[in-house]
Chains A and B, each alone.
Chain A
């Protein structure tokens, strides 16, 4: 079966005055259909760059990203994206936010509402459909953003440190909820984080990247069954994988721990 997402020798340089800097160097990765991969690595490892290129928000300097065999040449509704800062439209209610993409697609009002309500309920915001984002907590905002991304029915979800701004407790709840949503509405997910626990807990495979230049370092499979539960999170198998990822991330040549 052909892979869902293919990164083929993707290089991205940024010009900083006279010198250019390589954010991503010949990045190679295949993501299978329906797979959940997480990407971890120190700051400057190019993980966000890779995601933005896949989203079509950034053009590669060399190489290409293909989704379903087609080269990415800009954003498209088949690739949904979720941002760390939620990026909800604050003047729209939860339902209007979720309907935003459907409206652009030209979906008629009735179907739009039905679909929006389905995904709002799926992320557990049913009681807040008519609320404005300012009245929601960070976790609820991100759930709304997830519903909004799901509503346009993308086959790929690109998530850029979506839980990075949340407190530890909310983060764990949202991880469970995301996995639950993913099992019911299966999509291919590429999820960026710098939390090693989160990376292992969510993924089929953890992609570890290295910095300067940003590149692929190691791919670590997570052979733990879904649904992932607290027992799994506290199991010795989990700890072993977690330790392996930790070492791959934090003991990179020329990379200091405190660099975050």
Chain B
């Protein structure tokens, strides 16, 4: 499964020279071409029973032409975005409440820690039994996956706001509400955005697995069908699409994140 998110920390390095950027981009390309060439060589020599690149490319064209790929992408994206947005929209306020009020933290945290240990996919059997086999159980597990990732990040963000900064606001006359709106929220934004990115990654991973188990459309479902007919090219097309879409969404969020946190000191 190709989950897109490998996010380590909110701080990144930047500010390398243009030349360094270009040469690393060139190296990226070289690596990519070498990889495809290797794949081609391996399949041509018959060492592995995988489809060679041209077959996969042809299948890509076919699936785009008959509209199946677009249908699958749309239904997968609709699920992931619905679940993901619901998850984040609930996670951010709950994370704030947990970070701000000790009582709320103590009440909610045991559940959070417990459910974090259950892979969202393990909820699928229960979800199917209780919610039926339509879209609801899939959206629910995606919601759960993105909620759990984002809520922890938000709450960590709130509790790690520098106390001196809060004191600084206080001596300038700020009361609790002002401190919350003008200090806590902006100061925890970088954490929240990292959480949201991790949430999207885990939502995407969960989605594809959920479709493998229970769906009638989507990229995961397509692979599952292809498996029945030993249609390896379609499986490759789906895998590549899943990876590319995940990457595209992650880059998009990264761009948003950089935009919103230009003020951060990066090491």
Contact = CB atoms under 8 A, between A and B. Distances in A.
A92 B71 CA distance: 45
Interface in B207-229: none
A87 B264 contact: no
Contacts of A105: 173
B263 interface: yes
Contacts of A101: 172-173
Interface in B162-185: 162, 164-165, 167-174, 178, 182-183
Nearest to A92: B263
Interface in A81-108: 81, 83, 85, 87-92, 100-101, 104-105
B263 A90 contact: yes
B173 A57 contact: no
Interface residues of B, number: 21
Nearest to A74: B170
Interface residues of A, number: 28
A57 B172 contact: no
Contacts of B165: 87, 89
Contacts of A104: 172-174, 178
B164 A148 contact: no
A55 interface: yes
Given A101-B173, A105-B173, A152-B172, A134 B167 contact: no
Interface of B: 162, 164-165, 167-174, 178, 182-183, 186-187, 189, 262-265
22 contacts: A55-B167, A55-B171, A57-B167, A76-B171, A79-B171, A80-B171, A83-B167, A83-B168, A85-B162, A87-B162, A89-B165, A89-B168, A89-B183, A89-B186, A89-B187, A91-B263, A101-B172, A132-B262, A134-B265, A149-B171, A149-B172, A152-B173
